[in-house]
Amino acid sequence: MPPPVKGTLLLHEDTASLEKAAQIIKSGGLVAFPTETVYGLGAAATSAAGVARIYKAKGRPADNPLIVHLSYSDQLKDVACDIPETAFKLARRFWPGPLSLVLPRAEKIPALVSAGLPSVAVRMPAHKTALEFIRLSGVPIAAPSANRSGRPSPTTYRHVLDDLTGRIDAVIKSTPCPVGVESTVLDLTGEKPLILRPGGVSREELETELGFSVDVAAATARKGEPPLSPGMKYRHYSPQAKLILISGPAPARLPLIKVLAAHYRSLGLKVGYLNTALEGSLRYGVAPEQLAAGLYDSMRRMDRQGVDIILAEEVDAAGIGLAVMNRLKKAAARILRVYPGQV
Ligand code: TXA
Ligand code: MG
């Protein structure tokens, strides 16, 4: 067993280490674990005390509910009740995978998991280590992303250590999370399914499976309206740098970015680029899947480099691009729309 890092144990993916992780869960502790989307910070979903520790370790607002993770489909009936046929249909098609279903909460699951809501979000992750860790724990695992509240989600175990060393019991060390953005949160408690948060399963894939169109909740709550998903009202996924998102036709974006960069530099500020067609920019022109996989790491890297202003171009909101745009909008301090010939 590797030595603990300031009280946080670094575990590997072998069976003995995963058994140790499961032991920690059984005794009410916190373990960060890899999933295909981002790292999760897990506690036994049946333990109100364990779940309370998650909120504390993350500094998470008490009104933002967690997602419950399963290792086999039958566990669903321990977590949710009055499950509609649509849920079974979607679970058959997309689990294990990055789709969280919001359903009526079963009694076994403490209200704290759902921040007091009568519903609960549940998914089965498509990650071998996560599935084995949950199975060995013998209970569903409640887990938000394993970052300090307000920071970009962690896609490597180093990100987890950067944010939570000394605040959690253990981290399971794995390779970087392949999807890189969080699961799609789909509300099935209303009359029609509603995407509360776009993520790893695309809207198009859901619509193909369901055979009808599915609405997407606005990325941020409109002024004066209550948020549909409690997570909506927080400025999530934020780097420390101020992110400016430039939208509008591609040829018109670059001149504006150049003007902005020169302006901020003249003020003595350090400028970084994310998905822009400028030299030194991270990940421009890559497939949206690749952009998603490196998004949070890019934000964190720029923070480490002391970047003050991140200039980012919008992406096409198709497929996983919808999730990437949602995260960019939420991270953005400002969104600038440019028109042809404006600059
Ligand atoms: O991919 C993921 O979903 C990752 C990995 C670890 O599974 N987890 C994750 O959890 O992103 P978290 O806590 O960072 O985000 C959960 C989101 C929040 O926006 C929250 O508001 C929403 O899901 N949510 C959870 N339960 C809900 C509920 N009962 N009703 C509405 N929204 C809910
Ligand atoms: Mg999160």
What are the structural domain ranges in the chain? Answer: 9-216, 242-337
Is residue 151 in contact with ligand 1, taking CB distance under 6 Å? no
How much is the pLDDT for 339? 86
How much is the pLDDT for 251? 87
Exposed, middle or buried, 309 (CB in 10 Å: 0-12/13-18/19+)? buried
Beta bridge partners of 100: 185
The stretch 168-197 carries a mean pLDDT of 98
Hey, what are 340's tokens?
């042809």
| 238 vs 235, more confident | 238
pTM recorded for the entire structure: 0.94
- 96: preceding bond cis by omega (within 30 degrees): yes
CB atoms within 10 A of CB 322: 22
Are 9-216 and 242-337 equal in CATH topology? Answer: no
Ligand number with the minimum distance to the CA of 236: 2
Is residue 149 in contact with ligand 1, taking CB distance under 6 Å? no
Ligand 2 centre and the CA of 144: distance in Å?
6
The C-alpha atoms of residue 145 and residue 60 are separated, in whole angstroms, by: 11
Q: Residues of the chain with pLDDT > 70: what percent?
A: 92
How much is the pLDDT for 220? 62
How much is the pLDDT for 223? 54
Evaluate whether 37 touches 12 at the Cβ level (below 8 Å): no
Q: Is the pLDDT of residue 240 over 90?
A: no
3-state secondary structure 199-217: CCCCHHHHHHHHCCCCEEC
Tell me the per-residue pLDDT of 128-164, one tens digit each, with 9 for 90 and over.
999 999 999 999 999 999 999 989 999 999 999 999 9
Hey, what are 166's tokens?
């000394």
Q: Is the pLDDT of residue 183 over 70?
A: yes
Is residue 183 in contact with ligand 1, taking CB distance under 6 Å? yes
Ligand 1 centre and the CA of 147: distance in Å?
13
Q: Is the pLDDT of residue 233 over 60?
A: no
Strands 194-197 and 242-247 come out as unpaired
* End-to-end CA gap in the chain: 59
Q: Is the pLDDT of residue 224 over 80?
A: no
Is residue 326 in contact with ligand 1, taking CB distance under 6 Å? no
Question: Any idea what DSSP says for residue 182?
Answer: -
The C-alpha atoms of residue 104 and residue 81 are separated, in whole angstroms, by: 6
Q: Into which CATH architecture does domain 242-337 fall?
A: 3-Layer(aba) Sandwich (3.40)
**Nearest Cα residue to atom 24 of ligand 1:** 65
The stretch 259-272 carries a mean pLDDT of 97
Q: How far is CA 343 from CA 176, 261, 266, 271, 333, in A?
A: 39, 13, 18, 19, 21
Q: Is the pLDDT of residue 235 over 90?
A: no
Is residue 60 in contact with ligand 1, taking CB distance under 6 Å? no
Ligand 1 centre and the CA of 67: distance in Å?
5
Local confidence band at 99 (pLDDT 50, 70, 90 cut-offs): very high
CATH number of 9-216, picked from 3.90.870.10, 3.30.1360.180, 3.30.499.10, 3.90.1200.10: 3.90.870.10
Q: Which residues, chain by chain, have CB under 5 Å from ion ligand 2?
A: 145
The C-alpha atoms of residue 273 and residue 257 are separated, in whole angstroms, by: 9
